[in-house]
Structure 1
């Protein structure tokens, strides 16, 4: 799936969203760590992750589905789909737990 950072002040920061079956959805921060962020920043063509952002500042809209939870990357994957994660659409999260991050440009 395609990934993007949405609603940031620049393309290299914002809420992490994935495009799946014709819609954009969010990723829950359960278990989110530096290795996960590193894979996303690399997939997007940016440098290393600078920081995780306060999720509540980048909450997804209530109509958005939460697609991924329990993402676990080693850091060497070329893209997010290669990381371990829960079944798409299965989660125990609310939008206040959406992943948001900033990558070095």
Structure 2
């Protein structure tokens, strides 16, 4: 209807919600009245490519597993998208109804775009392979929170940077830079991933991420 069309035109049809910035998070589409999550069932990388391009977030880096960025209220978009990857926006992609009109799923589809992909170590240490872990999130470098930071996460960072394996994850302000912006993203790496953004993600609350509580790593 006209009301639904106007809402989608003004607000956009797709967004990534619950992540740290506009370029990562749970895939949601606007129904004209509310934002509704899209099921991770049969969700593909070409569909993610269309969403990242539509949002001005570069290319899709990964489609994550079903660990939610935030709890869903149970409502799920009743269609599956069949994008080829070249469409100008998600609205243009072919869609098919979910079987029985209901999308049964283990979680919402989640996407990480390339604007949320670079990692480096800011170091006051003795080498380029130790320091505070920072990630480029939508064009801004942010330190990662140390709460729930694991050796498995650190191993992925070391591998991604060509720095061998993680020896330790020092706690406390070993490498803290004054005035750092701290991200509330929490990674759930199992260890063998090649890139940090390939790991499932959730978002922590602000109180867990006070200044000085930043993730760090010493690689081999």
Same fold (TM over 0.5): yes
TM-score w.r.t. the length of structure 1 is: 0.84
Query: In the alignment, is the contact (CA less than 8 A) between 2:184 and 2:209 conserved in 1?
Result: no
Query: In the alignment, is the contact (CA less than 8 A) between 1:5 and 1:15 conserved in 2?
Result: yes
Judged with a 3 Å threshold, the aligned counterparts in structure 2 of structure 1 residues 49 and 28 are, in CA distance, closer, same or farther, namely same
| 2:186 is equivalent to residue 70 of structure 1 | yes
Determine which structure has greater relative contact order: mean sequence separation of CA pairs < 8 Å that are 6+ residues apart, divided by chain length: 1
Query: In the alignment, is the contact (CA less than 8 A) between 1:67 and 1:90 conserved in 2?
Result: no
Residue of structure 2 equivalent to 1:47: 164
Secondary structure, aligned partner of 1:96: coil
Query: In the alignment, is the contact (CA less than 8 A) between 1:43 and 1:78 conserved in 2?
Result: yes
| 2:195 is equivalent to residue 85 of structure 1 | no
| 2:131 is equivalent to residue 14 of structure 1 | yes
Once the 2 structures are TM-superposed, how far is the Cα of residue 54 of structure 1 from its aligned partner?
3.5
Once the 2 structures are TM-superposed, how far is the Cα of residue 86 of structure 1 from its aligned partner?
2.5
Name stretches of at least 5 consecutive residues in structure 1 with no aligned partner: none
Once the 2 structures are TM-superposed, how far is the Cα of residue 79 of structure 1 from its aligned partner?
0.6
Whole-Å separation in 2 of the counterparts to 1:3 and 1:51: 18
Secondary structure, aligned partner of 1:70: strand
The CA RMSD over aligned residues, in Å, is 1.9
Whole-Å separation in 2 of the counterparts to 1:68 and 1:44: 22
Of 33, 36, 50 in structure 1, the residue corresponding to residue 153 of structure 2 is 36
| 2:214 is equivalent to residue 98 of structure 1 | yes
Whole-Å separation in 2 of the counterparts to 1:9 and 1:55: 17
Of 19, 43, 56 in structure 1, the residue corresponding to residue 173 of structure 2 is 56
Name stretches of at least 5 consecutive residues in structure 2 with no aligned partner: 1-116
Once the 2 structures are TM-superposed, how far is the Cα of residue 68 of structure 1 from its aligned partner?
4.1
